[in-house]
Amino acid sequence: MKQLLLIFFSLFLLMELPAQISLDNPSFEGEAEDATMPRGWLQCKVGTTPDILPGSWGVYNEPSDGDTYMGLITRADKTWESVGQRLSRPLEKNVCYEMSVDLAHSKTYTGYNKPVKLKIWAGKSRCSRGQLLWESNDIDHVDWRTYEFEFYPKGIYNYIIFEAYFPGDRVVPYKGNILIDNVSQIDVCKRA
């Protein structure tokens, strides 16, 4: 009887732990093409026309995972590109999560050649930016590098947004790019 209760209690605890959260098409796979929304992702800012690369706009970096990756740009008119999607399950308030993303930069993105950064937001509704989860430095390297990070949501969030953004702390008219690939699932922190 004690063993049965122990098994039941263990299963109950496991059911209460937040499970991993997966993304649809985390490596932005699809037919390489300019101005194309990757399958599973939504436009989150007017004028967002991400590119599925390599091959368009003079960008020929090899993918870090799979066959393709996504390129986002910032523009001289102070606009930038942003995509998002609904998570497979909500982020829970005050839970430590960890994830990673591979980032690179292209020096030959047909005029959009300056480095920019990536901002990752969580939102309660489609494309809402409720909490900044993570922000990279300006990405100026052409090789793929994996960025691992942790975050604690301050609320319950159903959406995630990936946003190319200008360098530094203020909006500057700037034509730049960031390449994104191999986004991990979102896991509860191992140390939590």
> For residue 50, which phi and psi values (nearest 5 degrees)?
-60, 160
How large a percentage of the chain has pLDDT more than 90?
84
Task: Please answer whether residues 109 and 53 qualify as being in contact, where contact means their C-beta atoms are separated by less than 8 angstroms.
Answer: no
* Nearest alpha carbon to residue 69 among 118, 20, 114, 21: 118
20-188 is classed in which CATH architecture?
Sandwich (2.60)
- The confidence score (pLDDT) of residue 191 equals 74
Rounded average pLDDT over 167-190: 90
6 CB contacts (<8 Å, ≥6 apart)? none
d(CA 3, CA 7): 6
- The confidence score (pLDDT) of residue 67 equals 97
Domain residue ranges in the chain: 20-188
- The confidence score (pLDDT) of residue 1 equals 54
Indicate the helix (H) or strand (E) that contains 6: helix 2-16
pLDDT digits (tens, 9 = 90+) for 126-158: 999 999 999 999 999 999 999 999 999 999 999
